């Protein structure tokens, strides 16, 4: 299940075309919350690269 379907970030938005985007993209790096209130750290994908595939990452596809 993808993040936007499961427990999305509170800053995740959907445009008219049905595509998702981050509403605070310019300031996205740092701590944020999901719809259920869980805190998580948004980090640049390059910081995760040495540990990929990181199954907890929204970019990971099994």
> pLDDT for 29-53, tens place per residue?
999 999 999 998 888 877 766 666 6
Q: Does the structure show a pLDDT above 90 at 60?
A: no
For residue 51, CA distances in Å to 28, 42, 45, 54, 56 come to: 21, 15, 10, 6, 11
More confident residue, 44 or 21: 21
Q: Where are the domains of the chain?
A: 3-51
For residue 32, CA distances in Å to 18, 45, 47, 59, 62 come to: 23, 16, 17, 17, 25
């Amino acid at each position: 299940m993808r993040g936007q379907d499961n427990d999305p970030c509170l800053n995740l938005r959907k445009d008219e075309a049905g595509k998702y985007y981050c509403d605070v993209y310019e300031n996205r790096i740092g701590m944020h919350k999901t719809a259920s209130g869980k805190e998580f750290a948004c980090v640049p994908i390059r910081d995760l690269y040495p540990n990929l595939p990181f199954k907890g990452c929204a970019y990971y596809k099994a």
